[in-house]
Structure 1
Amino acid sequence: MRADAARNLAAVLRTGARLLAEDPSTSISAIASAAGVDRTTVHRRFANREALLSAVFQAKLDSAERVLDDSRLTEAPVAVALHRYVEGIIPVSRDWPVDTRRMMRADPAADRRRQQQSQRLNDFLKRASDEGYLRPDTSPAWARAVLNQLVETAAHHFPETAPPRAADLVVETFLNGLGPS
């Protein structure tokens, strides 16, 4: 792919993610205009809005996969892996604000991939619990919901906070709020 075509594709996907998160009925024309490209450029690449939305979800899943891999959730010390994960996933959440759970209805393969990623994080939280980083009476579902909400809060309610500092705040809150008494 030519460099300008790759830049245009990246702009369309990121703009599409932002606009579709704000309004799921956003048209391809509106996305193209906001991305600074011709509507025909978008239509050449994507047959319809659903194909564009699918590409946005795949890009978000690709980014999340890289974060999960780079975090070394099974090898690194728990606090280190958690910080790496949070520091990496905050920019993913900011860059790709669409909710991948919406993809469940439209793309079973993408949903399986999302579920596999989710399971990796659940397994990590079980490891954190097993290693004494979480209180033994903390429900895994509760720990996951709290972590998700902390990441969501850092990513979207404090967008001016740099990812490393946001990760410091999230990890400190998560481990001390759920840590052993």
Structure 2
Amino acid sequence: MRADATRNVEAVLRAAARVFSTDPLARISDVAAAAGVDKRTVYRRFESREELLLAVYRARLDRLAALIDATLDDRPVRDALLAFAEGGIRLSRDWPVDIRAVTDPAIRDRREELDARMDAFLRRVEREGVIASGLPGGWSLRVLQTQLHTVAQEMPSLEPGVAARLVVRTFLHGVGV
């Protein structure tokens, strides 16, 4: 794909993520306008609104996979958790579509695979005594995801680094005194 075509696809996907997050029934012409391209440009790459939406979900999941690869490594768990939280907040702000209720089997399977990778990291955090053990399966993952989603979408004035530190502190210690 030519460099300008690649830039156009990226602009369309990012615009679609923003547009669909605020108006799930938005039309391709709305996305094209937000991306600054003609709607024919969008239709050359995506045959339908549904195909475009699935491409947005795949793009978000690709970014999440890259974030997991880059942050949830062998570094100390608190450092990894902080790096993931900051990256997760940025990702959620750049790609604000919610993939939790997507029913497409391929998207759902990919999300479950990434959730499993994150859950494996959180089990490491638990084994190292940083978070409580014996919690119901998936609890820590859902708490972390909910905090990241909430701060990313509902507190946009918080700078990602500051927000990440608050999320990690709350995740590890709660909001008690």
TM > 0.5 fold call: yes
> Is residue 2:51 matched to residue 1:61?
no
Q: How does 1:100-111 map to 2 (within 5 A)?
A: 100-103=99-102, 105-106=103-104, 108-111=105-108
Extract unaligned runs of 5+ from structure 1. none
Q: Which runs of 4+ in 1 moved over 4 A?
A: none
Q: How does 1:64-143 map to 2 (within 5 A)?
A: 64-73=64-73, 75-103=74-102, 105-106=103-104, 108-143=105-140
Extract unaligned runs of 5+ from structure 2. none
Decide which moves more: 161-170 or 53-62. Answer: 161-170
Identity %: 45
8 Å Cα contact 1:16-1:56 kept in structure 2? yes
- Counterpart residue identity of residue 31, structure 2: I
Match of 1:50 in 2: 50
Aligned residues: 175
1:153 aligned residue (137, 146, 150): 150
CA distance in 1, matches of 2:78, 2:64: 19
Deviation for aligned residue 1:140: 4.1
CA distance in 2, matches of 1:70, 1:134: 22
SS at match of 1:100: coil
The TM-score, its normalising length taken from structure 1, stands at 0.89
Match of 1:21 in 2: 21
8 Å Cα contact 1:146-1:174 kept in structure 2? yes
8 Å Cα contact 1:71-1:85 kept in structure 2? yes
CA distance in 2, matches of 1:102, 1:19: 18
The TM-score, its normalising length taken from structure 2, stands at 0.91
Deviation for aligned residue 1:110: 2.3
What's the C-alpha RMSD, in Å, of the aligned pairs?
A: 1.7
Deviations 1:84-126 (A, max 9, x none): 11111111111111122343x23x2222111110001111111
CA distance in 2, matches of 1:12, 1:42: 7
- Counterpart residue identity of residue 124, structure 1: F
